[in-house]
């Protein structure tokens, strides 16, 4: 890496080298049987330069040919945006634990056994189910160095377990599933199994639902796929700067229900998204976004922060190996003190949303969502009455989250970068066939 | 770094010596370029180079796979793929037979990598200026990417195929806002590397800027069941999402219930409905000579006169279902195994005119363009970019974008008119199994669907 930096500095005023090598070993079951075992190794090196006051950027899978990489970056710098920021100097990082050597030591046989356990449990719960399941171990090393003396190195490990099942009767299809992520080996598939068994049980019969507004509980999975995308985009410093965020003039204002608290926090030890620094080498910290319903902060990378007259919040994110932009690290919705059973008991007629399909297709910028309830249950007199089908819900995240009946005490990680409890909203528009 | 052709020759010897049921390798080398505008600023200009490969092994019905982008570890990758397949396999290996192919395919006519960044930037700068001169916007996005890659495929049956592909993808979005309402309108298109095909969009770009502003004032559709007319773009997305994925045999072959549901000969629509997947149409983004298992692309009828007549296969799904392979096993890059994917999927033209479709609709919705779409096999949702009321056979006012949803099987049956104006949509890409976006195209004439559920209050 040092030689790339040195070579780049012969042609540019400032430079940064970002490199990742990773290895991923997944074991996959298909239709209840072991089918694929893979080993994926990859490495990329990305070079960002400032030349004649402009940003240049190039990425390659081949760190052995630094000349090519530097030439590509120099070429792009002719047209790159003006460098309105400086690359950061040495940083102080929190001691976040991201690596457990035990992950690499988990044997393929053990991963097969864990997957088999999940499949067996699902088949026992419903003999008609066909499952895709799997376990994966993943290790990565990230290094960032730049011409202002920053040096950041981090090794991380990740272990995943996932179970997805389908039950098909004629044209009626039921899809269930859950997964677990950790930086340490997962030795117990129990939580995944019990969630899938619960989904199968609640979806065991079908219930009729009518078109009207009614209270709704989003389970942690439901929160993830219905509510998070519009919020994540509205709090992006970039969206705010561009005037595209509905929250642009609302800093310090009460926009959400006072029971709602959300932070960006990737500082917890051994979580999938945890890291001491972001993709620009800036220290990761806890950034409160919503505190008691009040808009507290937006999140920034270096460039957006420079334009907005703010500071980077450690949210520089290079998805897909591109130039950094603001991205959430890990969203944490603070749990409340209401149990799921208490929420349920509170509802005479309502809906539980576990999986909303198409929620990310509407006008996300405006906070609107509209989707088909792929997995959801009707509540009648405080009890689960069965699965709903052919049902659409429509709403606006800002209206929904400004009228909350309760926040659950059942917080969990979903999808590796969201920690959330169930959220009980007073009213959502339901359209059913 | 050695050239991928040298690596391929080395691999050819190695794979012949393995004692497994089947083994193949795929090597890739490519360059790509991205330009991204946000608002008035050209924010991203990036070039990338990628080289890598994989080895895939089938043994006793289990697959082992190892991908890499350092070639000094070929032996390790090979032993991991072999070890994976040996551990995963416990039954018998079945692959539909195909003739081994030795071929070096002609290079694509266009290579966008040969154009200068300056040329690309000038065109996009022009579009951006037009959008901002046209209407008061909050922001705008332009995402341009192009790429050129060469793939070498070889297997233990003696195939050795070299093919290259070029691709351009462009998406332009205008975003307008007032108070806390934000609306957007956009266009999305792609080509097989011909830059000239994305020139001349000045009028379209001005239109999307106007549209984004107009949507701010547009009323919202009342949710419920409507007769809807879809334009060719959205009908193409519908075809891809709602039916295309269902005809991918990897969802069917190991699943007795799905096999029953998707029995050939079953009626899925009215006699006007014909759906095709065709990977051989020149100039379309879903076109290729050979798929990533070395099977030639072809034209496959999926629905003919309303009846299910075919489906899309890999060599394994074809063998397990006793059907012919169709050349639809595709991988987005060397990092992934090939899986069953569509190529260019479309509804064949019928003979209704647009006017005839509107006639007889007392209250309906005309939906154009798209944001996206997704399916769960049984259910689908897709989002139109713009919508208009239809009243008493006439187009009425502009509505805010709508989300359509429904049961795939019922909705296919409810297509009661197929237009004559087939158009192919080349923008975006398809995602499946963590592999996205794969270049595909889809298309349709205008179609009319009875009793379609529209989201809304």
3-state SS assignment for residue B7: helix
> Is residue B164 domain-shared with residue B247, that is, in the same domain?
no
* pLDDT score of A216: 98
State yes or no: pLDDT of B177 exceeds 90. Answer: no
Q: State chain B's mean pLDDT as an integer.
A: 94
On whether both A338 and A218 belong to a single domain, the answer is yes
The pLDDT > 90 percentage for chain B reads 82
Whether residue A233 is found in the same domain as residue A157: no
Mean pLDDT in residue range A6-22: 97
- B203 and B253 fall within a common domain: no
Q: Are residues B157 and B89 in the same domain?
A: yes
Q: Tell whether A182 and A222 lie within a shared domain.
A: no
The neighbouring-strand residues paired with B29 are B51, B150
Task: State the DSSP H helix or E strand holding residue B413, giving kind and residue range, or none if neither.
Answer: helix B408-413
Q: Based on the domain organization, do B58 and B173 belong to the same domain?
A: yes
The model's confidence at residue B378, banded by pLDDT at 50, 70 and 90, is confident
> Are residue B244 and residue B334 in the same domain, yes or no?
yes
Spatial separation of the C-alpha atoms in residues A148 and A221, rounded to whole Å: 42
Closest CA to A16 of A52, A45, A53, A54: A45
CATH code of the domain covering residue A116:
3.30.2290.10
DSSP B266-326: -B-S-TT--EEEETT-TT-TT--SB-TTSPBP-EEEEEETTEE---B--HHHHHHHT----
* A108 three-state secondary structure: helix
Residue where one domain finishes, among candidates A153, A170, A200:
A200
Domain closes at, from B183, B217, B251 = B217
A249 in contact with B at a CB cutoff of 8 Å?
A: no
Q: Are B397 and B218 in contact (CB under 8 A)?
A: yes
Structural domain ending residue among the three candidates A171, A200, A229: A200
Range(s) of the domain holding residue A291: 205-433
Same domain (yes/no): A191, A329: no
Same domain, A191 and A246: no
Residue A84 touches partner B, C-beta closer than 8 Å: no
Please count the residues of chain A.
433
- Written in H, E and C, the secondary structure of B112-159 is HHHCCHHHHHHHHHHHHHHHHHHCCCCEEEEEEEEEEEEEEEEECCCC
Tell me how far apart the alpha carbons of residues B412 and B308 are, in angstroms, rounded to a whole number: 12
- The parent domain of residue B304 ranges over 224-454
Partners of A45 in the beta sheet? A19, A60
Between A172, A238, A361, which is nearest B383 by CB? A361
**Between the CA of residue B316 and those of A38, A226, B89, B233, B254, what are the distances in Å?**
18, 36, 14, 33, 11
Give me the residue label for tokens 């074809």: B318
pLDDT mean over A289-317: 97
Looking at the structure, tell me whether residues A55 and A139 fall in a common domain.
yes
Chain B contact for A238, CB < 8 A?
yes
Element (H, E) at B210: helix B202-217
Contact B177 A398 (CB under 8 A): no
Q: In whole angstroms, give the CA distance from residue B114 to residue B168.
A: 13
Could you tell me the CATH number of the domain that includes residue B148? 3.30.2290.10
The yes-or-no verdict on residue B374 having pLDDT over 70 is yes
The Cα–Cα gap between B75 and B67 comes to 12
Burial class (CB within 10 angstroms; exposed 0-12, middle 13-18, buried 19+) of A395: buried
Note whether A192 and A230 are same-domain residues: no
Structure tokens at A229: 């995308």
Is B80 within 8 Å of chain A by CB? Answer: yes
Token digits of residue B440: 């595909």
Q: With 70 as the cut, is the pLDDT of residue B2 above it?
A: no
In whole angstroms, what is the distance from residue A424 CA to residue A389 CA? 21
- CA gap B278, B247 in Å, rounded: 13
Q: Which residues of A touch B1 (CB under 8 A)?
A: 62, 64-65
- What pLDDT digit, counting tens, does each position of A95-121 carry? 999 999 999 999 999 999 999 999 999
**Backbone angles phi and psi of B438, in degrees to 5:** -85, 130
| Whether residue B407 is found in the same domain as residue B436 | yes
Structurally, how many domains does chain A consist of?
2
pLDDT at A362: 64
**A52 reaches B (C-beta below 8 A):** no
ipTM of the complex model: 0.93
Is residue B33 domain-shared with residue B53, that is, in the same domain?
yes
Among the ranges given (A173-182, B81-90, B236-245, B326-335), the one the predictor scored with the smallest mean pLDDT: B236-245
Residues forming a β-bridge with B381: B374, B405
Contact A99, A157 (CB under 8 A): yes
Among B182, B261, B379, beta carbon nearest to A374: B379
3-state secondary structure of A241: helix
User: What confidence tens digit (pLDDT) does each residue in A336-385 have?
Assistant: 999 999 999 999 999 999 999 877 666 677 788 878 899 999 999 999 99
Do A286 and A381 lie in one domain? The reply is yes
Number of structural domains chain B divides into: 2
Q: Are B170 and B143 in contact (CB under 8 A)?
A: yes
What would the mean pLDDT of A419-426 be, rounded to a whole number? 98
Q: Which of residues 391-420 of A touch B (CB under 8 A)?
A: 392-394, 398
Residue B1 has pLDDT above 60, yes or no: no
**How is residue A220 written in tokens?**
């942690």
The DSSP output letter for A427 is E
Q: What is the pLDDT of residue A389?
A: 92
Q: Provide mean pLDDT across the span B383-408.
A: 92
Cβ–Cβ < 8 Å for B336, B350: no
| Stretch B109-129: mean pLDDT | 96
B379 touches chain A (CB under 8 A): yes
Residue A295: count of CB within 10 angstroms of its CB: 22
Instruction: Please give the span between the terminal C-alpha atoms of chain B, in angstroms, as a whole number.
Output: 60
Among residues A367, A365, A397, A328, which one has the least CA distance to residue A244?
A: A365
Between these two residues, B426 and A220, which has the higher pLDDT value?
A: A220
pLDDT of A62 reads 82
User: In the predicted model, is pLDDT for residue B455 greater than 80?
Assistant: no
Last residue of a domain, one of B184, B217, B250: B217
pLDDT for B457 equals 61
| Interchain CB distance below 8 Å, A35 and B62 | yes
Instruction: Examine the fold and report which residue of B186, B217, B248 is the final residue of a domain before the chain moves on.
Output: B217
Same domain, A352 and A211: yes
Provide the mean pLDDT of chain A. 95
Q: In this complex, is the C-beta atom of B407 within 8 Å of any C-beta atom belonging to chain A? A: yes
The predicted pLDDT at position A390 comes to: 86
Alpha helices in A349-409 (DSSP H): 397-400
* Angstrom distance (rounded) from CA B449 to CA A170: 23
- Tell whether A308 lies on the interface with B, counting CB pairs under 8 A: no
Nearest CA-CA partner of B183 in B218, B156, B133: B218
Q: What are the distances in angstroms from CA A363 to CA A212, A368, A390, B18, B142?
A: 22, 5, 22, 54, 18
User: What pLDDT is stored for residue B17 in this prediction?
Assistant: 85
Asked if residue A171 and residue A320 are part of one domain, the reply reads no
CB contact (8 A) between residue B63 and residue A37: yes
- Asked if A17 and A89 sit in the same domain, the reply is yes
| Partner A contacted by B433 (CB < 8 A) | no
pLDDT beyond 90 at B180: no
Does A137 lie in the same domain as A262?
no
Same-domain check for residues B238 and B380: yes
pLDDT of the residue at B16 = 84
Last residue of a domain, one of A168, A200, A232: A200
Q: pLDDT tens digit string along B215-240? A: 999 998 988 899 999 999 999 999 99
Q: Which residue of A has its CA nearest to B65?
A: A38
First to last CA, chain A: 60
d(CA B196, CA B203): 16
Min Cα distance B67 → chain A (Å) is 5
Has residue B66 got a pLDDT over 80?
A: yes
Using CB atoms, which residue from A31, A57, A211 is nearest to B255? A31
pLDDT at residue A146, as a whole number: 97
pLDDT digit string, tens, across residues B16-62: 888 999 999 999 999 999 999 999 989 999 999 999 999 999 999 99
User: Closest partner residue to A371 among B34, B378, B381, by Cβ?
Assistant: B381
| Whether the predicted pLDDT of B241 surpasses 80 | yes
């Amino acid at each position: 890496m040092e030689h790339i930096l040195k070579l780049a500095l012969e042609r540019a005023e400032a430079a940064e080298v970002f490199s990742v090598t990773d290895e991923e070993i997944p074991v996959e079951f298909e239709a209840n049987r072991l089918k694929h075992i893979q080993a994926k190794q990859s490495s990329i090196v990305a070079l960002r330069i400032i030349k004649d006051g402009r940003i240049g950027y190039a990425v390659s899978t081949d760190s052995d040919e630094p000349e090519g990489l530097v030439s590509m970056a120099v070429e792009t710098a002719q047209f790159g945006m003006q460098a309105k920021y400086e690359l950061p100097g040495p940083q102080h990082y929190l001691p976040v634990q991201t690596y457990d050597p035990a992950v690499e030591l988990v044997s393929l046989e053990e991963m097969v056994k864990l997957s088999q356990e999940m499949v067996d449990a699902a088949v026992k719960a419903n003999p008609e189910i066909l499952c895709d399941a799997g376990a994966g171990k993943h290790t990565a090393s990230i290094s960032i160095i730049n011409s202002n003396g920053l040096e950041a190195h981090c090794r991380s490990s990740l272990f995943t377990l996932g179970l997805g099942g389908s039950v098909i009767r004629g044209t009626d299809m039921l899809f269930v599933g859950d997964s677990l992520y950790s930086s340490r080996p997962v030795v117990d598939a129990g939580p995944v199994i019990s969630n899938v068994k619960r989904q199968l049980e609640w979806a065991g019969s079908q219930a009729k639902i009518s078109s009207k507004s009614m209270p709704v509980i989003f389970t942690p999975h439901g929160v993830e796929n219905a509510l998070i995308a519009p919020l994540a985009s509205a709090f992006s410093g970039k969206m705010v700067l561009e005037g595209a965020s509905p929250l642009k003039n609302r800093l310090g204002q009460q926009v959400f229900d006072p029971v709602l608290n959300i932070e960006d926090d990737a500082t917890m030890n051994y979580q999938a998204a945890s890291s001491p620094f972001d993709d620009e080498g800036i220290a990761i910290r806890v950034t409160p976004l919503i505190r008691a319903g009040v808009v507290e902060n937006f999140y920034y990378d270096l460039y957006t922060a420079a334009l907005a007259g703010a500071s980077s919040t450690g949210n520089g994110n290079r998805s897909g190996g591109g130039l950094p932009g603001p991205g959430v690290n890990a969203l944490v919705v603070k749990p409340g003190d209401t149990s799921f059973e208490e929420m349920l008991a509170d509802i005479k007629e309502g809906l539980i949303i576990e999986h909303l399909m198409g929620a990310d297709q509407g006008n996300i910028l405006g906070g609107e969502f509209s989707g088909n309830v792929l997995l959801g249950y009707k509540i009648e007199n405080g009890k689960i009455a069965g699965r709903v089908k052919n049902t659409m819900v429509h709403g606006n995240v800002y209206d929904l989250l400004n009228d909350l009946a309760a926040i659950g005490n059942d917080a969990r990680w979903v999808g590796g970068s969201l920690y959330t409890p169930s959220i009980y909203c007073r009213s959502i528009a339901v359209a059913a066939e | 770094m050695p050239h991928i052709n040298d690596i391929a020759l080395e691999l050819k010897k190695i794979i012949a010596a393995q004692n497994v049921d089947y083994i193949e390798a795929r090597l890739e080398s490519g360059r790509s370029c991205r330009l991204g505008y946000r608002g008035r600023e050209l924010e991203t200009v990036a070039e990338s180079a990628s080289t890598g490969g994989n080895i895939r092994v089938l043994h006793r019905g289990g697959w082992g796979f190892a991908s890499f982008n350092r070639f000094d570890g070929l032996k390790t990758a090979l032993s991991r793929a072999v070890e994976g397949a040996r551990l995963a396999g416990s039954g018998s290996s079945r692959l539909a037979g195909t003739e081994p192919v030795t071929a070096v395919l002609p290079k694509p006519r266009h290579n966008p990598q040969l154009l200068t960044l300056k040329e690309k930037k000038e065109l996009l700068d022009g579009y951006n200026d037009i959008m901002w001169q046209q209407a008061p916007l909050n922001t705008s996005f332009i995402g341009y990417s192009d790429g050129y890659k060469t793939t070498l495929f070889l297997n233990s049956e003696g195939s050795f195929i070299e093919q290259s592909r070029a691709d351009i993808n462009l998406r332009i979005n205008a975003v307008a806002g007032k108070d806390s309402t934000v609306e957007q309108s956009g266009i999305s298109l792609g080509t097989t590397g011909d830059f000239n095909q994305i020139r001349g969009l000045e009028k379209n770009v001005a239109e999307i800027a106007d549209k984004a502003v107009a949507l701010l004032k547009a009323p919202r559709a009342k949710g419920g069941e409507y007769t809807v007319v879809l334009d060719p773009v959205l009908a193409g997305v519908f075809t891809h999402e709602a039916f295309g994925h269902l005809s991918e045999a990897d969802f069917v072959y190991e699943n007795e219930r799905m096999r029953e549901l998707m029995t050939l000969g079953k009626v899925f629509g009215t006699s006007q409905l014909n759906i095709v997947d065709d990977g051989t149409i020149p100039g379309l983004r879903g076109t290729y000579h050979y798929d990533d298992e070395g099977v030639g692309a072809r034209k496959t009828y999926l629905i003919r006169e309303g009846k299910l007549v075919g489906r899309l296969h890999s060599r394994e799904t074809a063998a397990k279902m006793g059907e012919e392979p169709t050349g639809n096993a595709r991988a987005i890059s060397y990092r992934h195994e090939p899986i069953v994917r569509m190529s260019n999927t479309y509804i064949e033209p019928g003979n209704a005119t647009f006017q005839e479709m509107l006639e007889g609709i007392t209250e309906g919705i005309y939906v154009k363009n798209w944001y996206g779409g997704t399916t769960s096999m049984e259910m689908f949702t897709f989002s139109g970019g713009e919508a208009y009321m239809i009243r008493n056979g006439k187009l009425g006012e502009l509505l805010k974008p709508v989300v359509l949803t429904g049961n795939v099987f019922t909705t296919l049956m409810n297509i009661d008119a197929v237009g004559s104006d087939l158009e192919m949509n080349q923008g975006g890409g398809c995602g499946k199994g963590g592999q996205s976006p794969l270049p595909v195209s889809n298309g349709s004439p205008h179609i009319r669907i009875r009793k379609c559920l529209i989201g809304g209050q």
